[in-house]
Amino acid sequence: MAPHPVEITQLLRQWRAGDRQAEDSLFEILLPDLRKIAGRCFRGERLGHTLQPTALVNEAFLRLAKIKNIEWQDRGHFLAVSARIMRRCLFDHARARPSIIFLPMEGLPERVLGNQTSLELALTVDALLDELEVESHQRRAVVELKFFLGLTDTEAADALNLSLHTFQREWYRSRRWLFERLSTQS
């Protein structure tokens, strides 16, 4: 039986307070979700990538365990932050190997792509997400789950505990916001 969202939120709060048992329970419950996120991070990656999804989950766990100042809201917030950390792990890995192309940027208008590499564009989008979070944490999470991880609308809405209609409205607004900023930078 799947844990109730309130149980996960309670575990997140206990973990933040330093409860190691809550940490163990939380990661046991959410490990399948973390593995799915890592798998999605590797969509479109080249074969023989030197970083594997399991290593990405482990690295993300280590980085999450070091973060003590996040006021966890719920499962969706945790998964969005986990996705962000996994993406940053991939960025760090790619920066060490500049020839690696790791992120498909499907759906962007041609004028936005210009002559940027996929890595340059991904880094630009990542920087813009920090700006978007100032306006709306939820919209940042929508972009991360949809744009970077490729979740379906239903999967992303479920992860964020939103209705499908609300998620789709937020995705439209977030994407418009992002494309406007990318267009002015090209």
pLDDT score of 149 more than 80 = no
Instruction: Give the span between the Cα atoms of 19 and 101, in whole angstroms.
Output: 39
Provide the pLDDT for residue 105. 43
Question: Domains of the chain by range and CATH?
Answer: 1-102 (1.10.1740), 106-186 (1.10.10)
Contact 90, 41 (CB under 8 A): yes
pLDDT at 111 over 70: no
Query: How much is the average pLDDT of 116-129?
Result: 69
CA dihedral 147, 151, 153, 155 (to 10 degrees): -150
How many residues make up the chain in this entry? 186
Q: Is the pLDDT of residue 180 over 70?
A: yes
Residue the block writes with tokens 């990661």: 27
The total of other beta-carbon atoms located within 10 Å of residue 80's CB is: 25
Provide, rounded to the nearest whole percent, the portion of the chain with pLDDT above 90: 6
* pLDDT value at 12 more than 80: yes
Kindly state the helix (H) or strand (E) to which residue 93 belongs, with its residue range: helix 75-96
Q: Are 122 and 144 in contact (CB under 8 A)?
A: no
Cα 104 to the chain's mean position, in Å?
15
